[in-house]
Amino acid sequence: MDKWNLFQRFLITENAQISIVDFLINTAIILVLALVLEFTYTRCAKSLSGRKTFASNFFLVAFTTMLIISIVKSSLALSLGLVGALSIVRFRSAIKEPEELAYLFLTISIGLGLGANQRLVTIVGALILLAIVWARHLSTPKRSKQNLYLTVSGMGDGKPSLENVDELVKNTFKASKLVRYDETSENIETSFWVEIKNPDDLQQFKNKLETVGREIRVSFVDNNSF
């Protein structure tokens, strides 16, 4: 009976006090690592859009993870309650690139490690991984490039098809990603993120597009989020 009472107390009442000093130290470490990770992602990532917006969430994700682990790590009951609570949470934002998922896992790992007060291994592991990312980035041959927001629209009988526009974009630019597509019986509008190496690519694309449709409007806008 005594063992059963001890087990009940372990499930219900066990709850060690969290050291405020340790919590503040871990918060400072997370802030530094999140800033370094944010800088690394914005400079080294291959994503064509929204790098700064995505990277600005790293500190929030890491800190929230650390806070949760710090609270529940000393109580089995809270840990089980956390599982139930997370089962009703749905992450609605789609992860579009595998690279984004990798950085999110690293961010969560930093929060988990510091939440468990494993500071040394967390810092060393994060720095090793970031060093590898930078080494690969710096070893890649540099090339002049610019990222633009391309919009192609047409109307009437001379409007181009999505297949034709997409094929021309892929054949003209180094990298591209379709981000918007609207079509009615009267008009069509498509938008892409594109990467160019030479301004002549823009004129080349425009000349090619004129061969597939009439009354076509093309616009290129610099992406300020890079």
* pLDDT at residue 35, as a whole number: 94
* pLDDT at residue 6, as a whole number: 58
Those residues with Cβ within 8 angstroms of residue 119's Cβ, 6 or more apart along the chain or in another chain: 25, 26, 29, 113
Quote the CA–CA distance of 28 and 14 in Å, as a whole number. Answer: 28
Those residues with Cβ within 8 angstroms of residue 209's Cβ, 6 or more apart along the chain or in another chain: 152, 160, 165, 168, 216, 218
Tokens of 58: 């790293």
* pLDDT at residue 226, as a whole number: 41
Quote the CA–CA distance of 196 and 190 in Å, as a whole number. Answer: 18
Q: Tell me if residue 137 falls in helix, strand or coil.
A: helix
Of the candidates 147, 165, 154, 157, the one whose C-alpha atom is nearest the C-alpha of residue 205 is 165
Those residues with Cβ within 8 angstroms of residue 200's Cβ, 6 or more apart along the chain or in another chain: none
pLDDT tens, N- to C-terminus, the chain (226 residues): 466 665 555 555 455 567 888 889 999 999 999 999 999 998 888 775 667 888 888 999 899 888 888 877 766 555 555 555 455 445 555 556 678 888 988 998 998 898 888 899 999 999 999 999 999 888 876 555 667 778 888 877 767 778 888 888 888 877 788 888 888 777 888 888 787 777 677 777 777 777 776 667 777 776 544 4
* pLDDT at residue 225, as a whole number: 45
Quote the CA–CA distance of 157 and 178 in Å, as a whole number. Answer: 23
CA–centroid distance for 207 within its chain: 35
* pLDDT at residue 43, as a whole number: 85
Q: What secondary structure letter does DSSP report for 156?
A: G
* pLDDT at residue 140, as a whole number: 73
Q: For residue 193, what is the enclosing H or E element?
A: strand 187-196
Q: Contact, 174 vs 160, CB < 8 A?
A: no
How many CA atoms lie within 13 Å of 3's alpha carbon, on the beta-carbon side? 0
